[in-house]
Amino acid sequence: MDSTKLLPPVKEALEQFPQVFHDEIAYAGPLGAAWAPGRVNLIGEHTDYNGGFVLPLAVDRVSAFAGRTRQDQTVRLWSTHFKEYAQFSLAGLPETFEEQRADLPGWARYVLGVAAELVRVDVVLKGFDAVVSGDVPLGGGMSSSAALEIASAEAYALFSDHAFSIGEKDATLTPIETAGLCQRAEQIASGVMCGILDQAASCLGQPRKAVLLDCRSLDYRYLPFEDSNVSVVVIDTSVRRELASSAYNERRQQCEEATRRLRDLILRDEPENAQTRSIKELRDISPEQFDRYKNQLPALLQKRAGYVIAENERVLQVVTLLEAGRIEEAGQILWIGHAGLRDEYEVSCAELDALVDIAREVPGVLGARMMGGGFGGCTINLVRGDAVDSLRQAVEQQYPERTGRQASIDICRAAAGPGHVVMN
């Protein structure tokens, strides 16, 4: 394999492995590497755990493992980002958040959680030593944790002599099954009841494609996402957030409560309607039903439910535009989505709002919104190619003045899902 063709984090991990792990143990396999991408989400934020629709694409930023199979059940890891080791055994893996290894660094708990989920579905794993690298911004809303989890699954497959495989045809695990497994691993590792958006996007990535995912049925289809005149620009606020402390679980509980109240109200007036009896999530409530009953909800629940129901409609609007090749028009819907996240779902912050406001004043920026769980992280911007430099200059000049912080800017491309390589 020509290492010059590998993504930079993969090359970095491969190059560092012999320097980090040089204690002369007898390995049971050749040097190999596994990786998985982060993602951006065009539209459909906080809809995944409400059974709704999302429209992500995997990006050319990855988490990567490079290492060798051991002859025992030990996993030893070195993180190039955190500059620290982690070690655990594949025996006695945790099954709940409360059973997590308190002595492990946070990043390693995701790797451990994936192992626990694989063993739960009867996969036989082997230990390995590996360097862990990556260029997905941590805590930036591009799903660094999901990229790490999916890369972990790919690494376990590689270093366990392909005891299982991930793919569409004749694979032990389909991409969606792998995504669900890694979603549960994240819930174990973090205590956050996340939806499946991030893991599915990482597993399902294809170059020049966005993915429409139904988060209830888990059906998905690909949509064209390539326009030489439009760039996806991700701007990092440099504000980091912890989802567990940012009221993520609280938002989920509020949506569940709003669903229960709306279902009871609709059943009161339509007791014979079988469709009404099947209401389980906000996704099942139409905009017309919501308009009819919203004033009977507490003000807070009205805002939360109103955002989610409208956001599902926005996803479908963007799908229609992409199918018609009208990507520029999709940008207008991003502005509206950000307003909903800011005012109704209340998960934005001053820095995210500042970036969106700056982008709005730059000619050629088609749309922008905050991305991810909220309270920090990144914005996603659809920008005409000839306006990217103007946006960069505006952010570099105005963002520090408004926030006292520096922002970083990346241009992302729709990319492939997880992969691995065995070196000669």
pLDDT(276) > 80: no
Q: To which H or E segment does residue 356 belong?
A: helix 350-360
- Residue 386 included in any domain: no
In-domain check, residue 94: yes
Q: Are 422 and 32 in contact (CB under 8 A)?
A: yes
Number of domains in the chain: 1
Residue ranges making up the domain that contains 105: 3-225+414-422
Q: What is the pLDDT of residue 4?
A: 57
Residue 146 belongs to a domain: yes
* Residue 385: predicted pLDDT: 94
Domain-embedded: residue 363:
no
Residue 88 lies in a domain: yes
| 291 belongs to a structural domain | no
269 closest CA partner among 293, 235, 253 = 293
Average pLDDT over residues 52-69: 97
Q: What is the pLDDT of residues 186-216, one digit of tens each?
A: 988 888 888 899 999 999 999 999 999 999 9
pLDDT in the model for residue 244:
46
Whether 263 is in a domain gets the answer: no
Q: Distance between CA atoms of 368 and 33, rounded to whole angstroms?
A: 35
* Predicted confidence (pLDDT) per residue in 1-43, tens digit: 555 589 999 999 999 999 999 887 889 989 999 999 999 999 9
Annotated active-site residue in 198, 236, 284, 410: 198
- Residue with the bigger pLDDT between 58 and 241: it is 58
Q: Judge whether residue 100 has pLDDT over 80.
A: no
pTM of the model: 0.91
In a domain, 148, yes or no: yes
Give the DSSP letter string of 377-407: SEEEEEEEGGGHHHHHHHHHHHHHHHHS---
368 or 4, higher pLDDT: 368
* Catalytic residue status for 343: no
CATH number for the domain spanning 19: value is: 3.30.230.10
